[in-house]
């Protein structure tokens, strides 16, 4: 979702890194380009204005002038202020006596019902016993959709087709959860094509009747600034405790995610990263800021590995990535493993320095596309895989012929692999966890 914004910001930082000393005019020039990049990414203009003002105030002050590397310091400031704009990470409020009620609201087409199932799956992994309640009696097949998802996940769904009102269905669902010992109730409320008084009145009635601890809005990232307006409308009318941004794996411009917290003052709690029921990520503003700036997201990558592999495999992958002790042989093995963790383009985008390669792979990351990467590496000798530096022109031509690809494709893969190695080495020197300074050096 952020690739256009990421590409533009990286281009700005690369130019900035060529300047040894930064003058105020240099900072202003860079900030103009960042401002245009944010506006083109559909970030709310008031958010952009405030963001640029904060960055400029810090960038022309003592903080940069005393830095040994002013350009890197500006990048660090942009990262920190981006994290500040995105807001803090907040967990679901599941304190107090059970059952804990979570009300999920949103417009039709936002992915609300699927998100309810994703949320139930996430909570079950956390040790809870969730019950989903199908109270959307307006949209055809909405109840059936949630029941089908419940059967797929082997999770219970409460529904009532006898003509009972949605608020009463929710009350009955909470009562059923209490009777059967479920500790979380997730209410799938009715959606509309647009916000209207009738819809809001019903949602208000459900909230009064069910008394939810959490009221979460599912907002479609593909709608851009309209998602921000929808969130503001729901917040003003019923009050929200959190946002779930869906379809962030699409080709939206990304501005909604950056604008939402600042405009609505409501925290983003989850990101929907695909259609499958496991495609739900806890929102971490620092990780998203790193992705936007092209730094990758190693922590999320390792968490996905832990969820997919056994403990020994996850630890091995984590060590390989953080310590940068891997060659193309290891790289191929990792690619074969992480195919099970989701679309390959998403996984590569989480690896520092691999975003460029991810751009060349469709969101579906088809087997044919993966096999081209695999074929290139398998067409190398063991010596070449362990030491890619020996790959001269004739060797690359042989590899291209053997893999059915072209020399530019071979060069592109090698370039991205070298960049990943370089960045991971910098991260390791920075201590593995706090190596932000090392990551910054990739822009210089």
Q: How far apart are CA 39 and CA 155, in angstroms?
A: 43
Domain annotation covers residue 135? yes
Name the strand (E) or helix (H) holding 432.
none
Q: Is the per-residue pLDDT at 316 higher than 80?
A: no
Q: How many domains does the chain have?
A: 3
In a domain, 93, yes or no: no
Q: Quick one: pLDDT at residue 343?
A: 64
* Per-residue pLDDT, 213: 93
436 phi and psi, to 5 degrees? -65, -40
Question: For residue 438, what pLDDT is reported?
Answer: 42
Supply the DSSP symbol for 21: S
167-174 average pLDDT score: 94
Residue 92 lies in a domain: no
- 258 shares its domain with 318: no
pLDDT at 206: 92
Model pLDDT for residues 349-387, shown as the tens digit of each residue = 666 555 555 555 555 545 677 778 889 999 999 999 988
- Specify if 91 maps to a domain: no
Instruction: Give pLDDT, residue 436.
Output: 41
DSSP E strands in 31-145: the ranges are 100-105, 130-134
Q: What's the CA gap between 291 and 82, in Å, rounded? A: 11
Query: Does 61 have pLDDT greater than 70?
Result: no
Give the phi and the psi of residue 327 in degrees, each rounded to 5.
-120, -170
CA-CA distance, 313 to 129, in Å (whole number)? Answer: 29
Same domain, 280 and 313: no
Same domain, 153 and 189: yes
Contact predicate 334/318, CB 8 Å: no
| Residue 318: band (very low, low, confident or very high) from pLDDT cuts 50, 70, 90 | low
Residue 276 sits in the same domain as residue 319? no
Beta bridge partners of 215: 103
- Find out whether 94 and 269 touch, Cβ atoms under 8 Å: no
- For residues 383 and 314, membership in a common domain is answered with yes
* pLDDT higher than 50, residue 120: yes
> Does 148 lie in the same domain as 105?
yes
Measured distance CA(284)–CA(245) in Å, rounded = 13
**pLDDT over 80 (residue 5):** no
Q: Which residue has the higher pLDDT, 288 or 265?
A: 265
Q: Name the nearest CA neighbour of 414 among 377, 367, 369.
A: 377
* Most confident range, picked from 120-129, 254-263, 350-359: 120-129
Q: What is the H or E stretch that residue 99 is in?
A: none
Same domain, 69 and 201: no
Domain boundary among 292, 323, 339: 292
Asked whether residue 55 is domain-assigned, the answer is yes
CA atoms within 13 A on the CB side of 417: 24
The boundaries of the domain holding residue 81 are 3-86
Query: Which CATH number belongs to the domain containing residue 64 in this structure?
Result: 1.20.120.140
Q: pLDDT-derived band of residue 252, with 50, 70 and 90 as boundaries?
A: low
Last residue in a domain, options 292, 318, 341: 292
User: Please, which residues have CB within 8 angstroms of residue 96's CB and are 6 or more apart in sequence?
Assistant: 213
């Amino acid at each position: 979702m952020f690739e256009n914004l990421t590409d533009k910001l990286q281009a700005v930082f690369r130019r900035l890194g060529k300047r040894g000393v930064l003058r105020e005019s240099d900072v202003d020039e860079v900030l103009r380009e960042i401002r245009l990049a944010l506006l083109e990414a559909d970030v709310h203009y008031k958010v952009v204005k405030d963001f640029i003002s904060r960055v400029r105030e810090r960038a022309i002050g003592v903080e940069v002038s005393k830095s040994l590397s002013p350009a890197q310091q500006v990048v660090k400031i942009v990262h920190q202020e981006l994290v500040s704009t995105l807001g803090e990470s907040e967990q679901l409020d599941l304190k107090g006596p059970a059952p804990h009620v979570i009300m999920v609201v949103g417009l039709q087409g936002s992915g609300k019902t699927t998100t309810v199932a994703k949320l139930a799956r996430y909570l079950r992994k956390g040790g809870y016993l969730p019950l989903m309640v199908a109270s959307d009696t307006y949209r055809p097949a909405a109840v059936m959709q949630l029941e089908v998802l419940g059967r797929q996940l082997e999770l219970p769904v409460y529904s009532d087709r006898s003509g009972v009102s949605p608020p009463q269905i929710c009350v009955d669902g909470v009562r059923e959860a209490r009777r059967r010992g479920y500790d979380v109730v997730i209410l799938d409320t009715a959606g509309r094509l647009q916000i209207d008084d009738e819809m809001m009145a019903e949602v208000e009635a459900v909230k009064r009747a069910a008394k939810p601890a959490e009221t979460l809005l599912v907002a479609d990232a593909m709608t851009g600034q309209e998602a921000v307006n929808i969130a503001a409308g729901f917040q003003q009318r019923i009050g929200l405790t959190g946002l779930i941004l869906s379809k962030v794996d699409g080709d939206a411009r990304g501005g909604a995610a950056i604008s939402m917290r600042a405009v609505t003052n409501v925290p983003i709690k989850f990101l929907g990263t695909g259609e499958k029921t496991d495609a739900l990520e806890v929102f971490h503003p620092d990780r998203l800021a790193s992705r936007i700036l092209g730094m990758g997201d190693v922590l999320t990558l390792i968490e996905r590995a832990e969820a997919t592999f056994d403990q020994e495999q996850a630890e091995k992958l984590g060590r390989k990535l953080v310590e940068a002790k891997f060659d193309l042989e290891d790289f191929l093995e990792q690619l074969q493993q992480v195919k099970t963790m989701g679309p390959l383009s998403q996984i590569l985008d989480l690896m520092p320095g691999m975003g460029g390669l991810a751009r060349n792979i469709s969101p579906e990351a088809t087997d044919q596309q993966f096999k081209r990467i695999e074929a290139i590496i398998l067409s190398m000798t063991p010596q070449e895989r362990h030491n890619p530096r020996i790959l001269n022109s004739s060797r690359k031509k042989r590899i291209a012929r053997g893999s059915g690809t072209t020399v530019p494709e071979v060069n592109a893969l090698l370039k991205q692999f070298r960049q990943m190695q370089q960045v991971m080495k910098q991260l390791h020197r920075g201590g593995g966890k706090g190596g932000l300074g090392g990551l910054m050096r990739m822009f210089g």
